[in-house]
Amino acid sequence: MVSLFSFKHKIMNETLKIAIQKSGRLYEGSMLLLKECGIEVGNGNNQLRVLASNFPAEIFFLRDDDIPEYVQDAVADIGFIGENVVKEKKKTVDTVEKLGFGKCRLSIAVTKSGSLKTIDDLNGKKIATSYPEILSQYLQQKNIAASIHEISGSVEIAPRIGLADAICDLVSSGSTLFSNELVEIETILSSEAILISNKKLSVEKKFILDSLLFRIRAVRKARNNKYVLLNAPNDKIDTITKLLPGMKSPTILPLAESGWSSIHSVINEADFWNVIEQLKANGAQGILIIPIEKMII
């Protein structure tokens, strides 16, 4: 059977150019998201661009710092990129969707054993960073007269070699700061991967983007939810149904043993343990939690 999508794609013969980070923090999350969206891409080893084999998309592997500009200039149509880079580069692009991975923060950090302890101590000092735009805005807001030394990589070594008194850099696990004996004194921005788009996509490209977004949302909903099955005495069904509203309402099936039912529903990862405790307190037994692969509401 030819799906509506492949049918329209054949007519349009158009391809969506997707920019992702060539290597670094966002590479794996971006590739995993494409894979879970059913889009087959080679790993791009040393290749700048790769055509997806089963979706009208072409993947460009680029330096993350360049992605906003490439999307603005329509070299790529969309990009998976850190919010931090988009805010720093100030290019004209649309933010379409948060992607839920690559969570990190932009922080100011100082030497652990040094005399600088708070942001106010940075008056008259020098801060090394790859984020001069965001940092200068922040310092201005806080009325701190520090100078900014822009460097493009290995920011964490700047205090040790006497290049700066403090740094402003991305922190994810914190291990880079830890191994360089640095401590955070101020978080200035929280960030995660987002999907950005060129402002003037053609109707055909928009159609492909919508199809991609539909898949991304189904994957993300599935990641945030679990399927739950449990047995409960019939007199507790009402209470348990309130705890597990599900997508529409739970499925309730009678068990062979009279007076008992099996209840099936969907539960959000965020309130998971809290709800499980309440289910147990209300007589639920044999609770099974199962991952969901895709979720379409």
Q: How many chain residues interact with ligand PRP (CB under 6 A)?
A: 12
List the interface residues with Zn ion, window 30-69 (CB under 5 A).
Answer: 64-65
CB-based contact 171:102 (threshold 8 Å): no
Smallest distance from ligand PRP to CB 172, Å = 3
Looking at residue 23, the DSSP 8-state letter turns out to be S
How crowded is residue 25: how many other Cβ atoms within 10 Å of its Cβ?
18
Q: Could you tell me which stretch among 29-37, 166-174, 210-218, 277-285 binds ligand PRP (CB under 6 A)? A: 166-174
Among 172, 249, 268, 274, binds ligand PRP (CB under 6 A): 172
Residue span 5-44 as binding mask against ligand PRP, x where in contact by CB under 6 A, dash where not? -------------------xx-------------------
Q: How far is the CB of 130 from ligand PRP (least distance, A)?
A: 6
Strand partners, 193: 82
Tokens encoding 284? 């639920």
Of the residues 169, 198, 232, 279, which one makes contact with ligand PRP according to CB under 6 A: 169
CA distance 11 to 3: 13
Minimum Å gap between C-beta 65 and Zn ion is 4
Considering the complex, what minimum distance in angstroms separates the CB of residue 37 from ligand PRP?
Answer: 23
Site string for Zn ion, 216-235 (x = CB under 5 A): --------------------
For ligand PRP, which residue of 171, 188, 196, 263 counts as binding (CB under 6 A)? 171
Query: Across the chain, where does the E strand assignment appear?
Result: 16-21, 49-51, 57-62, 78-82, 94-98, 104-111, 126-129, 147-150, 166-171, 182-191, 193-197, 225-233, 251-254, 260-268, 285-291
- Which SS3 state, helix, strand or coil, does residue 32 take? helix
Distance separating alpha carbons of residues 133 and 40, to the nearest angstrom? 37
Per CB under 6 A, residues contacting ligand PRP are 24-25, 64, 153, 169-176
**Contact footprint for Zn ion (CB under 5 A):** 64-65
